[in-house]
Chain A
Amino acid sequence: MAGQQLARRRLVVTFWASLGVALFVGVLAGVLGDVGRVRPEFAVYALVAVALGVVAAMVLAFWLCVRWWRVADEAAREAHKWSWYWGGTAGLALAAVPFILLHTMPRIAEVLLPVGMSTPQAVVFGMALLGGFQLVGYGLFWAGWWLARR
């Protein structure tokens, strides 16, 4: 019991330390990105550095998730597994609506997407939309799971 509490406290400390590291990596990536814009000859190095920074941040986040999962109690795990499956699937299904609309009626993009959006911006917007739908679905189903068990 005390071991689990100590593990949770360590996790909180590690979480804040990781946020600090992520902030540092983010600032570094931003600086390198600007270097790439100002000095095009360094653009490739800046691109690689930013990509590595993002990968490092993701690995860190995943490692934190694993540590958190080990100290989470079984009901909390069940709530997350249930929300991941049902919330994520429902979000994905809802995200299919704009996807199918844009795929079958490309001209609708002129109405739905902000004016002057470039192709790369539209791709990023689409990815964010997909992730957003899943995240909202996840959150709603997670809250619903706990509300149903109050």
Chain B
Amino acid sequence: MKNRLKVLRAERDWSQADLAQRLDVSRQTINALETGKYDPSLPLAFKIARLFGQPIEAIFQDED
């Protein structure tokens, strides 16, 4: 699944560690999410959407 996490993070000038702290996950998890190699659970996706103030589908795009 593609996502705009890296762009959204860069717009706010946050490091991966900053974002990890805000979402209460590890930096490795942020890296796995950004590279599209790990898809978040629904609760985490909602948390990300709330943090960036955008709907989930504006952040995550299904590749199918």
List chain A positions with a Cβ less than 8 A from chain B. 1, 4, 73-76, 78, 146, 148-150
Contact A75–B24 (Cβ < 8 Å): no
For window 19-42 of B, CB contacts with A under 8 Å fall at: 21-22, 24-26, 28-29, 31-33, 35, 37-38, 40-41
Whether A75 touches B22, Cβ cut-off 8 Å, given contacts A148-B37, A149-B37, A149-B38, is no
Interface status of B44 (Cβ within 8 A of chain A): yes
Query: In the docked arrangement, what's the CA distance between A146 and B38, Å?
Result: 10
The closest CB in chain A to the CB of B35 belongs to A149
Between-chain CB contacts (< 8 Å), 16 pairs: A1-B24, A4-B24, A74-B25, A74-B29, A74-B40, A75-B28, A75-B29, A75-B38, A76-B29, A78-B38, A146-B28, A148-B37, A149-B28, A149-B35, A149-B37, A150-B32
CB contacts (< 8 Å) of B44 on chain A: these are: 74
Known: A1-B24, A73-B24, A73-B26. 5 other contacts (CB 8 A): A74-B25, A74-B40, A74-B44, A75-B25, A149-B28
Q: Which of B22, B29, B37 contacts A73 (CB 8 A)?
A: B29
Give the distance to chain A from B24, nearest Cβ to Cβ, in Å.
5
Give the distance to chain B from A142, nearest Cβ to Cβ, in Å.
12
The closest CB in chain B to the CB of A146 belongs to B28
